[in-house]
Chain A
Amino acid sequence: MLKCRTVWKKLAPLARASSTLCRQNVRRTALNNGRTPAYVPVAHMSSGPAGGGRANQIYVLLVGAACVGGGVYTYRTVKGDGQRYQERIEEISSRPIKTQDSYIQTEPPAVEATETEAVPEPEPEAAPSSEEPSPPAADVEAVIPPETSEAPPETSEAPPETSEAPPETSEAPPAAEPVVEAPPDEAAEPPAAPVVEEAEPSAPCEPPPGELTEPPAAVEESEPSAAAAEPAEPAEPQPEAVAESGDSVAASLKVPSHAPYLLIGGGTASFAAARSIRARDPGAKVLIVTEEPDAPYMRPPLSKELWFSDDPSVTETLRFKQWNGKERSIFFQPPSFYITAEELSSAENGGVAILTNRKVVHMDVRGNKIKLDDDTEISYDKCLIATGGVPRNLQVIERAGEEVMQKTTLFRKIEDFKELDKVSRNVKSITIIGGGFLGSELACALGRRSSEFDLEVIQMYPEKGNMGKVLPEYLSNWTTEKVKSEGVKIISEALVKSVVSKDDKLEIQLKDGRLVKTDHIVAAVGLEPNVDLAKSAGLEVDSDFGGFRVNAELQARSNIWVAGDAACFYDIRLGRRRVEHHDHAVVSGRLAGENMTGANKPYWHQSMFWSDLGPDVGYEAIGIVDSSLPTVGVFAKATAKDTPRAATELSGTGIRSESETEDTATSPVASSTPAPSGSHKDEYGKGVIFYLRDKVVVGIILWNVFNRMPIARKIIKDGEEHSDLNEVAKLFNIHDD
Chain B
Amino acid sequence: MSSVRDEGKDRIIFVTKEDHATPSSAELVEEDPDDPYEERGLILPSGEINWNCPCLGGMASGPCGTEFKDAFSCFHYSKEEVKGSECLEHFRAMQECIQRYPELYPQEDDKVQKEQSSETEPTSQDSASAETPGADSTSATEPDSDSMPPNTKGSGES
User: Is A337 located at the chain interface by the 8 A CB criterion?
Assistant: yes
Is the Cβ of A631 less than 8 Å from the Cβ of B9? yes
- Interface majority SS (helix, strand, loop, mixed), chain A: mixed
Complex alpha-carbon distance, A631 and B5, angstroms: 12
Contacts of B65 in A (CB 8 A): 278-279, 282, 349
Contact A336 B63 (CB under 8 A): yes
A-side contacts of B142, CB under 8 Å: 326, 328
Q: Determine, out of B77-85, B115-123, B145-153, the stretch whose residues face the partner at the interface.
A: B145-153
Q: Could you tell me if B58 and A283 are in contact, using CB atoms closer than 8 angstroms?
A: no
Cβ-neighbour of B14 out of A339, A682, A724 (below 8 A): A682
Interface residue? A59 (CB, 8 A): no
Further contacts, 16 of them, CB under 8 A, given A324-B153, A631-B9:
A278-B61, A282-B65, A282-B69, A298-B146, A328-B139, A333-B104, A586-B147, A587-B147, A608-B149, A608-B158, A610-B150, A620-B150, A636-B14, A680-B5, A730-B23, A731-B28
Given contacts A328-B140, A637-B14, contact A730 B20 (CB under 8 A): yes
Minimum CB–CB distance for A733 against chain B, Å: 7
**When the two chains form the complex, which single residue of A282, A322, A718 contacts B145, counting CB atoms closer than 8 Å?**
A322
Main secondary structure of the interface of B (DSSP, over half): loop
Smallest beta-carbon distance A350→chain B, Å: 8
Query: Nearest chain B CB to A161's CB is how many angstroms away?
Result: 35
Q: Is the Cβ of A726 less than 8 Å from the Cβ of B15?
A: yes
Say yes or no for B46: interface residue by CB 8 A criterion: no
Query: Which among A339, A583, A708 has the highest number of chain B CB atoms within 10 Å?
Result: A583
**Stretch of A440-448, A484-492, A645-653, A659-667 that contacts chain B:** A645-653
Residues in A whose Cβ lies below 8 Å from that of B8:
473
A652 CA / B54 CA spacing, docked (Å): 22
Which residues of A approach B to under 8 Å, CB–CB? 272, 274-280, 282-283, 298, 300-301, 322-324, 326-329, 331-334, 336-337, 339, 349, 351-352, 472-474, 582-583, 586-587, 590, 593-594, 601-602, 604-605, 607-608, 610, 612, 618, 620, 629-637, 644, 647-648, 651, 653, 655-656, 680, 682, 706-710, 713-715, 717-718, 720, 722, 724, 726-731, 733-735
Contact A351 B147 (CB under 8 A): no
Asked if B150 and A729 sit within 8 Å, CB to CB, the answer is no
Known: A620-B155, A707-B151, A727-B26. A586 touches B5 (CB 8 A): no
Residues of A within 8 A of B150 (CB): 323, 610, 612, 618, 620, 644, 648, 655-656, 706
Contact of A283 among B62, B66, B140, B155 (CB under 8 A): B66
| Contact of B99 with A by CB under 8 A | no
Instruction: For residue B33, give the distance in angstroms from its CB to the closest CB of chain A.
Output: 14
Report the bound CA distance from A648 to B153 in whole Å: 12
Are A635 and B15 in contact (CB-based, < 8 A)? yes
Report yes or no: A729 in contact with B15, Cβ–Cβ below 8 A: yes
**With A300-B148, A594-B52, A726-B15 known to touch, is A733 a contact of B20 (CB < 8 Å)?**
yes
Nearest B residue to A715 by beta-carbon distance? B28
A residues near B7, Cβ cutoff 8 Å: 472-474
